[in-house]
Structure 1
């Protein structure tokens, strides 16, 4: 949401839209950890909002762990929202059971979100979902990690419910809601290696499931959207179980 925000909206709504716009830039990498945010004046000019709106938005970004302000210096990106008040800590991904617990939470929340999104989505919501899907595909084909676009797609569905609580919950969780983000970080904290062809195939299948969810939302078929989301997340749970079993078998033979 990089266009100028509509001035007739209430200040609180404007602040939330600005949080979304700046948060998206952080999550998709346009603003990386350590980057300094534009000045208040620059943000006011770009988005057509007041200083009060900018300061409220920055306060919300701080509360969600995305940015930190150094007085007299500026506001800097510090992460992807991992210090929210409701959080799933890294140590809560230590076991397969932990990962499955997160997926159960997602099944409960996101299945209903997909159904609501199918009935309420706007043209802008669809454009944003399409952009996230295309970014996922581009990252995969370029051999890059696709966790950011993956999370963005699910966040856009939450926004399309037109119920801010779904979107706020997803945004507060950040990319940690994608189990492989934590598991892969724990397994390979060093520099990320290029994707293998097997890994690319896996990510293509994941995005194919995303496409099925998107198609159902486009068609405003709430039950199909719920079914596609439940299938996608259940498949993710099963993939984790298989990966764990394979790793255990490998350890047993060494």
Structure 2
């Protein structure tokens, strides 16, 4: 299953209904940590939905760590019932993230990522980051759309952090940011030379294994984007007042 932060509304509603049904079934059976859930076939028949919908809901609950699929034992409850109910309530209540929320999360995450990358990078990581940087420069220099190359540059840095969880979070954040990116507004007035220099400064700081400088240069890179979302927040507050 592809976990997404911006599922279509109809799919989100169906998933939440099935997740609620799974929660109610677990509570009705008073399952405890380690107990096995009914099979996908049984739940499919009981909830009157297709098995692939059951499978998607289970994998989403696995993603959040409350269920676990075992090769021989089927799906089991991975945590206690109290914690399970609390987390499921939060999953169901989750709203589709806004562009601002996605960007805020990305900036906070990448400031930590670039610090770790500067501390842990290998020569192979540097080569991967340099290749991504060159691809970015090649696109932006001739005026082509460079957004995907930019994000691949950042993903290469995430891999250099040697933190697979952070890489996973980056992979979750990239698709919805690409889908909702307001490039015409965010990138207005960007100068090619200055954008290239910002990316090169990040690369050089990582090369030098200087985590403090790498963090500063990444923060500089995000300055315009941070200002953009702050202005959106101010406008929204003004319109609400």
Q: Cα gap change, 1:200/1:104 in structure 2, threshold over 3 Å: closer, same or farther?
A: closer
Task: Tell me the residue number matched to 1:233.
Answer: 222
1:162 and 1:123 map into 2 onto residues whose CA distance is 13
1:231 CA displacement: 2.2
Contact 1:151 1:177 in 2 (8 A): no
Unaligned residue ranges in structure 1 (runs of 5+): 1-61, 66-83, 189-197, 246-254
Distance 1:104 1:184 in 2: 15
State the 1:235 CA deviation: 2.9
Distance in 1 separating the partners of 2:192 and 2:226: 15
**Are the equivalent residues in 1 in contact too, given 2:141–2:192 (CA < 8 A)?**
no
* CA distance, structure 2, for counterparts of residue 113 and residue 107 of structure 1: 10
Question: What's the counterpart of residue 155 of structure 1?
Answer: 155
State the 4+ residue runs in structure 1 displaced beyond 4 angstroms: 198-201, 239-245
Using structure 1 for the length normalisation, give the TM-score.
0.49
The equivalent position to 1:183 in structure 2, one of 181, 184, 196, is: 181
Q: Distance in 1 between matches of 2:171 and 2:209?
A: 24
With structure 2 as the length reference, what TM-score do the two structures score?
0.51
Native 8 Å contact 1:143 1:200 kept in 2: no
* 1:194-213 alignment runs, 5 A limit: 201-213=190-202
Q: Secondary structure at the match of 2:226?
A: helix
Contact kept in structure 1, 2:114 and 2:211, CA below 8 Å: yes
**Helix, strand or coil for the counterpart of 1:162?**
coil
Larger gyration radius, structure 1 or structure 2? 2
**CA offset at residue 207 of structure 1?**
3.2
Equivalent pairs counted in the alignment come to: 148
Pick from 199, 203, 218: which aligns with 2:207? 218
CA shift in 2, pair 1:156/1:230, >3 Å: same
* Aligned-residue RMSD, C-alpha: 3.5
